[in-house]
Amino acid sequence: MTIFSRVLGTGSYLPEKVLTNGDLEGMVDTTDQWIRERTGILKRHVAGPDETCVDLAEAAARNALDAAGLKPTDIDLIVMATTTPDQVFPSSACLLQQRLDIHGCAAFDVQAVCTGFVYAVAVADKFIRTGTSKCALVVGAETLSRLLNWEDRGTSVLFGDGAGAVILGASDEPGIISTHLHADGAYKDLLQVPAGIGNGQRGSPFMEMRGNEVFRVAVTTLGRIVDETLEAAGMDQADIDWLIPHQANIRIIQATARKLNLPMDRVVVTVDEHGNTSAASIPLAFDQAVRDGRIRRGETLLMEAFGGGFTWGSVLLTY
C-alpha cells in the first residue's frame, strides 16, 4: 500500500507585544507611508524580553495538537524550522520535545531561513512516506527581532516574531502531493547575518540585506518554482484553490499570484499584520486561514517560499 502524509491539524502563536509602523517612526528614519507602500506591512509582533523561540513553538505546537485531537505522546517525529534557536545546542526541536514531555523519537532543526518550513514539511513527508514515522510535528518558529539592527531602516521595518505548526499523519489518501526544494549559495552575500561561531564571531551580529537585489531574484525564482510544481503534478493554474506564500513583501506576493492567474482573494495574506516572520510565516498564514474558515478540507493549496542562502521551495497539497 502506498503511504501518504496528510495535514491533521494546524496551530500558531504570536507574541502579545505589537510594534506598529507608527512606533517605528520614533525609532528609525522611516514613515508609515513608506513602509506600507513598499512592503504592505502595517504592524508586527515582537517577543518579550523573557519570551524564547521555543516558548512560541510550544504554544503553536499545543494548538496544532488540539486541532488534530492528538496528545503529545502520539508524535513520533519533531522537525523544527528556525533561524533563531534558543541555544547553539541542544537543538530547539529537542528543547521543544522536552517541553512536550515526548521521549525517544527523532527531533532536529532545519535551517533554511524563510524557506525553512517548506524544507521541514518536505523532510517530514519523506519520513512518513517511507514508513519511518506515522505522526510528525512540524514547526516554524522565529524571534527575528533579536537579529535586527533597529537603526537600519532597510531591515528593522520588515520582520516580526511568531510560530506556526502542523501535524502530519500517515494516510492511504494523498495529502501532500509534492515538495520541491532548491538552494544556491552563490547569493549568500545578498541576505545574511555575518557573525558566527566558526569565524570567531567576527562580523556583524545583525541581519544585512541588499533589498532591491533580493527582490529581483525572488520574483524570478518564485515564478520558476510555480511552473516546476504544476508541471510535476500534471496540473494547471486553475487547479490551485489557495496560494499560501511566504509573507515577505506584498509586491512579491502579488507577482506570484499573477503568475498563477489567482485573484488576491484566493491568496492568504498576513504580511500586513505579522510582517516577515521567516520560517513561521507560512504555517501562521495557513493556520489563520483554516481557523477563519477560508480554507476547507479537499481544497488544493500551493505553499512557496524564498529565503537567505538563497533557498527556495514549494509544497503542493490537498488539505
List, for residues 150-208, the tens digit of each pLDDT value: 999 999 999 999 999 999 999 999 999 999 999 999 999 999 999 988 766 678 999 99
Q: Which among 82, 88, 86, 144 has a CA at the least distance from the CA of 109?
A: 82
In whole angstroms, what is the distance from residue 263 CA to residue 302 CA? 14
Which structural domain, as residue segments, surrounds residue 118? Answer: 4-173
Q: Are residues 138 and 274 in the same domain?
A: no
Q: Are residues 164 and 68 in the same domain?
A: yes
Q: Are residues 18 and 167 in the same domain?
A: yes
In whole angstroms, what is the distance from residue 306 CA to residue 229 CA? 15
Judging by beta carbons within 10 Å of its beta carbon (0-12, 13-18, 19+), is residue 176 exposed, middle or buried? Answer: buried
Q: Catalytic site residue 135?
A: no
Q: Are residues 133 and 209 in the same domain?
A: no
28-38 average pLDDT score: 94
From the list 21, 53, 246, 249, the catalytic residue is: 246
77-99 average pLDDT score: 98
Domain count, the chain: 2
Last residue of a domain, one of 153, 173, 193: 173
- Are 298 and 288 in contact by the 8 Å Cβ rule? The answer is no
From the list 21, 63, 249, 276, the catalytic residue is: 276
pLDDT, position 198: 77
Angle between helices 211-233 and 250-259 (to 10 degrees): 30
Q: Are residues 169 and 186 in the same domain?
A: no
Q: Catalytic site residue 53?
A: no
Last residue of a domain, one of 138, 155, 173: 173
- Taking only the tens place, the pLDDT of each residue in 221-280 is 999 999 999 999 999 999 999 999 999 999 999 999 999 999 999 999 999 999 999 999
C-alpha grid cell for residue 240?
A: 490551485
In whole angstroms, what is the distance from residue 48 CA to residue 40 CA? 24
pTM for the predicted model, two decimal places: 0.97
Q: Are residues 159 and 201 in the same domain?
A: no
Cis peptide before 117 (omega within 30 of 0): no
At position 20, the amino acid (one-letter code) is T
C-alpha grid cell for residue 60?
A: 503553536
Last residue of a domain, one of 173, 192, 216: 173
pLDDT, position 146: 97
CATH number of the domain where residue 61 is located: 3.40.47.10
pLDDT, position 197: 85
From the list 21, 53, 94, 114, the catalytic residue is: 114
Q: Catalytic site residue 182?
A: no
Statement: residue 57 has pLDDT above 80: yes
In 3-state terms, what secondary structure has residue 204?
Answer: coil
What contacts 142, CB < 8 A, 6 or more positions away? 53, 56, 82, 83, 84, 161, 162, 163, 277, 278, 279, 280
Q: Which among 248, 294, 22, 263 has a CA at the least distance from the CA of 144?
A: 248
Q: Which among 255, 218, 222, 304 has a CA at the least distance from the CA of 40?
A: 255
pLDDT, position 299: 98
